[in-house]
Structure 1
């Protein structure tokens, strides 16, 4: 097919009338779309809640375990009585 034939084929496809749509399809689509939006909103809120809980747990662990403090040495006894 050359370019003119392809363009005319595309024009014919675009000018054709769209197929009939069932009357109750719109209501089903709106219902399904709103359900999807609610699920996404709930999932997004749950992810933020999980992130917040993980952050709080990490801060509490860091404050109690103090991983930045070097542990005392246990290989040599303390020098007392010199």
Structure 2
């Protein structure tokens, strides 16, 4: 196929009338799309809530156990009485 034939074929395809859409399809699509958006929003909020809960749990754990403090040395006795 050369270029003019391809252009003519594409024009014929575009000029055809689209197939008829079933009458109840549009309301179903809108309903499903709205439901999908609500679910996606709820999932996003749940994930942010879980992230916030994890951050709070980490801060509470870190403030109680204080992992940045060096543990006391138990290998040598303290030097007292010198």
Q: Give TM-score scaled by structure 1 length.
A: 0.93
Alpha-carbon distance, 1:6 to partner: 1.4
Count of residues in Structure 1 that have an aligned counterpart in Structure 2: 82
- Aligned-pair CA distance for 1:17: 0.5
In structure 1, the gaps of 5 or more residues are none
Q: Check if 1:2 corresponds to 2:9.
A: no
Shift of 1:2: 1.5
Aligned counterparts of 2:18 and 2:41: Cα–Cα separation in 1: 34
Question: What is the alpha-carbon distance in structure 2 between the residues aligned to residue 72 and residue 49 of structure 1?
Answer: 37
Give the TM-score of the pair, scaled to structure 2.
0.93
Does residue 46 (structure 1) correspond to residue 36 (structure 2)? The answer is no
1:65 aligns with 2:65: yes
Which piece of structure 1 moves more, 40-49 or 3-12?
3-12
Tell me which residue corresponds to 2:26: 26
Q: Distance in 2 between matches of 1:71 and 1:10?
A: 77
